Amino acid sequence: MMILNNKFAIGCLVQWYEIDLIGEYIESLKQSISNIKNKENVYIDFVFTVNQDLERVDDTTTMEEIGSRFDDMVNDLKKITPNVRVEPTNKLVTIADYRRVFNDTWCEVVDVLMWGESDSLIPKQTFEILDNLHSNVKETTPKYVAFFGTCKMWDGSWKPIEHIDFTDKPFIEDDDKNWWSLKYNMNIDEMNEINDKVEDLDVQMVNPYKFNGCGLVISSEVIKAGVNIPKSVFFIHEDTAFLNVIKQMFGDLIPQYIIKNVLLVHNRKHPKKRSHILGEENIEGKEIGAKRLVHDWYMKANKMCEHNAYSLFTQNKTYSWKDIFEDREK
């Protein structure tokens, strides 16, 4: 059993329609803390939203059943560690909203923050690695971000953060059969098989910054210094906005570390990512992106939020949910 010298918080927003998926993420959390003696040094945070302003539940289940299933999973997690906070809500909460508040709240409590995600699997070595990293760099670079190795991505700009076993593999459009591919859904045993081979960590520095939001690690000093997700970023693209704020405030002064040979799984095309949603019942077999497109608000919100994320330091107008809802009412 290892003893952590630093404190960590990992936070995840769970939308009600992710109920068929979230158990895999929770199982990876269990594995990541099972070998830690002082489990109180890891805070696990969830916001669970049952809001139906954008998507409505179909007749395959009820919101009560969904809530009960999530409670069962959380109670099972609490048998391993008491440090689990769950905030149920019926308000519209997006990933940008959640991560903004998570950063602001937990930076005063812990040394290191980590963005969890419902379609991710975190390595069982996560907190041992991050504890050693923070202890080694906190005196010289107290402000930093970090990332674990990821799958094969769609262009060469992502190579610096691709896992060493993945980076020389070909990118094949729409491939979901090869284990290195972007759309392949990897299970926890496959991830463990890759990570259990590691004897010595390959920790590198990345410049320019390259990361997405799934599994992003942030020292609390970064947030305390004023970096966060601007409120104009109301939906998605929060990772891009966060990166742009770092660059605007610090240039390249804040280092990004990459644990190149330890894999964090991001099953971004997982078939269970959107379940029990009214209007998506008859498009089985289609990927997640196609399912979202049946909702008239999605592309508008996506484009408006993308505009905001890339216009933070200009005089361009910013948009909000008010613009989306007013447009729907016309």
Asked if the structure places residue 305 within a domain, the reply is: no
Phi, psi of 12 (to 5 degrees): -145, 130
Q: For position 149, what pLDDT does the model report? A: 97
Q: Is residue 315, in this structure, part of any structural domain at all?
A: no
How do strand 217-219 and strand 112-115 relate by DSSP bridges? antiparallel
Contact present, 194 and 117 (Cβ < 8 Å): no
The per-residue pLDDT for 8 is: 98
Instruction: Report the DSSP beta bridge partners of residue 205.
Output: 257
Spatial separation of the C-alpha atoms in residues 61 and 79, rounded to whole Å: 27
Q: Are residues 122 and 10 in contact, defined by beta-carbon separation less than 8 angstroms? A: yes
> Are residues 39 and 83 in contact, defined by beta-carbon separation less than 8 angstroms?
yes
Query: Which of 174, 194, 193, 197 has its CA nearest to residue 184?
Result: 174
Residue 280 backbone dihedrals phi, psi, to 5 degrees: -110, 10
pLDDT in single tens digits along all 330 residues of the chain: 899 999 999 999 999 999 999 999 999 999 999 999 999 999 999 999 999 999 999 999 999 999 999 999 999 999 999 899 999 999 999 999 999 999 999 999 999 999 999 999 999 999 999 999 999 999 999 999 999 999 999 999 999 999 999 999 999 998 999 999 999 999 999 999 999 999 999 999 999 999 999 999 999 999 999 999 999 999 999 999 999 999 999 999 999 999 999 999 999 999 999 999 998 877 655 566 667 777 888 899 999 999 999 999 999 999 999 998 886 665
Q: Is residue 325 assigned to a domain?
A: no
In a domain, 43, yes or no: yes
**Both tokens assigned to 145:** 């971000």
The per-residue b/e assignment along 213-247, b for 16 or more CB within 10 angstroms, e otherwise, is: bbbbbbbbbbbebebbbbebbbbbbbbbbbbbbbb
Domain ranges, residue 12: 8-285
**Host H or E run for residue 146:** strand 145-149
Q: Is 262 part of a structural domain of the chain?
A: yes
**Residues 149, 150, 154: CA angle, nearest 5 degrees:** 135
**Parallel/antiparallel/unpaired status of strands 145-149 and 217-219:** antiparallel
Per residue in 267-300, is it b (16+ CB within 10 Å) or e — as a string?
bbbbbbbbbbbeebeeeeeebbeebbeebebbeb
Q: Is the peptide bond before 160 cis (omega within 30 degrees of 0)?
A: no
Q: Read off the pTM.
A: 0.95
Residue 233 lies in a domain: yes
DSSP assignment string, 280-317: -TT-TTS-HHHHHTTSHHHHHHHHHHHHHHH-TTSS--
d(CA 62, CA 56): 10
Number of domains in the chain: 1
Asked if residue 310 belongs to a domain, the reply is no
CATH of the domain at 80: 3.90.550.10
Domain assignment of residue 243, yes or no: yes
